[in-house]
Amino acid sequence: MNTSFPLRKFISPEFVFGVGARKLIARYVKNLSAQKILLVTDPGVIAAGWAPEAAAALEAEGISCATFARVSSNPRDSEIMDGARMFREEQCDMLVAVGGGSPMDCAKGIGIVVSNGQHILGYEGVDRISLPCPPLICIPTTAGSSADVSQFAIINATDERRKIAIISKSLVPDAALIDPETLTTLSPELTAHTGMDALVHAIEAYVSTVSSPITDLFALETIRLIGANLLAAAMNPSDIELRGRTMLASLDAGIAFSNASLGAVHAMAHSLGGLLDLPHGECNALLLCVVIDYNFDTVPERYRDIADALGIDTKHLSDGSVRQKLIDTVLKLNADLGIPDRLSVIGVRAASIPLLAANALKDPCMATNPRIPTTDEIESLYDKLL
């Protein structure tokens, strides 16, 4: 095999990026010949007005809309089954998701169940979706999850208290209408969490064992944009310019990780989120430093590029110094954004660590981490952060 150019594929949905992109929703729905929409959103997005705005735009064009908003911050399997039932009862023929990662992943799950018929947990893993899902258009209202462009859906299996990952090309939405204006209602806390999520997406995609020159472009661009703009954006919520950059960063990160996949940070964060129902972005931000530390020696040149993208001058630094400077930069960014540096602060107990590690090792994101971890290693990584 040619090691310089192993086979790589690149997939991306049609997307419209820019101020006012969300207003194209009715046009897109009509072009897909849909007659009845299931609008998947959550109470926060309804309160912010984005979901009612989309519904009104659709109704104005004579397209009726049923709204499903019973979505938690980590979407649950039961919510997906409820949504699928509503889709059938309301005789919908298309899905529109308005919101962050949770409503968008929930909409993907509903699509799977509607056309494939079984319980959502039966589709865990890679390429398990045999029938195409109903059309899905996403209007993201956070800058981080990138579910609007990714082939991932992360669902909380509440009975098992773990998150399952469903990865399939069928989950790439038909179109994403990415409008920075939707971020203006985002709280500083969520801005911080989702922004750090985007950064972790980019870093993990860049060091992934299935990264490619194309995904590298998007990954490094994300890191530059986040490094330069996230803190400012969190501090100036209404600055549309800054919001636009973080939104762009999220889009780039989504394109990168959707094709290059992720690594240990996400595997461990999914485990945490499943067991303790913790905010996904916050977990990622917290875990990032220990995983950089763990992975660094396996792919030091990749981390050097990342450090460069974050504005660290690595030209005359040893690998060890680069590692330290990189970790310090991330820690400082977390601190500036108000993200805690200890898992114990957010409620994680030592007793949970063996189960957390076991679940993390089962997560498909772990498959593309540059270094192969053992259970003990994962446990010690969690342990370091207690």
Q: Which residues bind another protein (CB under 8 A)?
A: 7-11, 88, 124-127, 129-132, 151, 167-170, 172, 209-210, 259-261, 358, 361-364, 366-368, 372-375
To another protein, the closest distance from the beta carbon of 6 in angstroms equals: 9
Q: Which token pair is 37?
A: 């929409």
In whole angstroms, how close is the CB of 190 to another protein at the nearest point? 28
Burial group, residue 308, by CB count within 10 angstroms (0-12, 13-18, 19+): middle
What is the nearest approach in angstroms of another protein to the Cβ of residue 4? 16
Q: How many residues does the chain have?
A: 386
Q: Minimum Å distance from CB 342 to another protein?
A: 25
Cβ nearer to another protein, comparing 325 with 362: 362
Parallel, antiparallel, or unpaired for β 64-68 and 94-99? unpaired
Residue 96 phi/psi, 5° resolution?
-125, 125
Least Cβ distance, residue 368 to another protein (angstroms): 6
Give the residue with the Cβ less far from another protein, 129 or 223: 129
Q: Is 145 or 151 the residue whose CB approaches another protein more closely?
A: 151
* Cα dihedral value 63, 66, 68, 69, nearest 10: 80
Nearer to another protein, 243 or 270 (CB): 270
Instruction: Report yes or no: 303 and 326 within 8 Å, Cβ to Cβ.
Output: yes
- Decide: 233 and 246 in contact? Cβ < 8 Å: yes
Nearest distance from C-beta of residue 170 to another protein, angstroms: 5
- Partner residues linked to 125 by β-bridges: 166
- Cβ at position 200, least distance to another protein in Å: 17
CB of 262 to another protein, least distance (A): 9
Q: 66 or 210, CB closer to another protein?
A: 210
On the CB side of 165, how many CA atoms lie within 13 Å of its CA?
A: 29
**Of residues 175 and 337, the one with the C-beta less far from another protein:** 175
> Which one, 1 or 60, has the nearer CB to another protein?
1
Annotate 289-300 with DSSP letters as a single string.
HHHHHHHTTTSH
6 vs 311 by CB, closer to another protein: 6
Helix (H) or strand (E) holding 382: helix 375-385
Give the DSSP H/E element, type plus range, for residue 96: strand 94-99
Q: Count Cα neighbours of 51 within 13 Å in the Cβ-side half-sphere.
A: 25
Handedness of CA 156, 157, 163, 168 (dihedral sign): negative
Dihedral of the alpha carbons of 142, 145, 147, 150, in degrees to the nearest 10:
140
